[in-house]
Structure 1
Amino acid sequence: MASLHTFMQDNERHLAQLEELRALLQEQHAAAVAELGAVTSESGDQLRLAAHAAEIEAAIERMDRGLYGTCRRCGAFIPLAVLFRAPQEQRCPGCAEQSSTMEMAV
């Protein structure tokens, strides 16, 4: 059985990782909004940037509600490596793969 000290260390490590991910999300959101503001004509780029900014906002909202890091589809945990690579990700690798497979079939 893990000691209280070990539990507290794990908790502190997880909180630090969440803060690191929050900072990464906020940086990416600011960059996406700035890039969106620089686009002068309506185009596919504008739609892509707006969608990306919305994904980041949704991830920050999930973090604020305590749901960040869990798959929106199945509820499984999203691996930390995936979140650091794409902090706005809201699907576990299995659901993301299923979704991309279905999109390719259409």
Structure 2
Amino acid sequence: MAATVPDDIVKTLHARLAELGGNIARIETALRAPLDADFAEQAAELEGQDALHGIEGSHLAEAQAIHAALARIAAGNYGECSNCGAEIPAARLRAVPTATRCVNCAD
């Protein structure tokens, strides 16, 4: 079982999750906005929506990784390499709090 999870990592995960939630909500609001009546403007807006969908997908994937990390914390196996079972160093977890593999296995 992994060592106790430092509070700063837990706080970082929760803060980033809250930030992502706000970003996702703003993107969803923008995507629900009606299109302009002008066809040329609609084309530009649709192009912008494509970009927003990409960003939203990225944010959703990151939020899923954070939820998985929080689940590992709750289960008591956060910080264990999912490949070899070794302990992931705290410095790596501070740099990449959603890391599931140690540096050797990640390479």
Equivalence map 1:1-106=2 (5 Å): 15=4, 18-39=6-27, 40=31, 41=49, 43-97=53-107
Task: For 2:11, give the aligned amino acid.
Answer: A
Letter in 1 for 2:54: G
- Quote the sequence identity (%): 30
CA RMSD, Structure 1 to Structure 2 (Å)? 1.6
Q: Deviations over 1:51-75 (max 9, x none)?
A: 0000000000000000001111221
- Structure showing greater Rg: 2
Q: Secondary structure of 1:43's partner?
A: helix
Quote how far apart the aligned CAs of 1:18 are: 2.1
Query: Match for 2:90: what amino acid?
Result: L
Supply the AA of the counterpart residue of 1:37. A
**Which stretch of the first structure deviates more once superposed, 76-85 or 32-41?**
32-41
Question: Number of aligned pairs?
Answer: 83
Shift, 1:86, TM fit: 1.3
Deviates more, 1:50-59 or 1:29-38: 29-38
What TM-score comes out, normalization by structure 1 length? 0.70
1:65 and 1:83 map into 2 onto residues whose CA distance is 17
TM-score, normalised to structure 2, is 0.69
| Gapped regions of structure 2 (runs ≥ 5) | 32-48
d(CA) in 2 for partners of 1:83, 1:36? 25
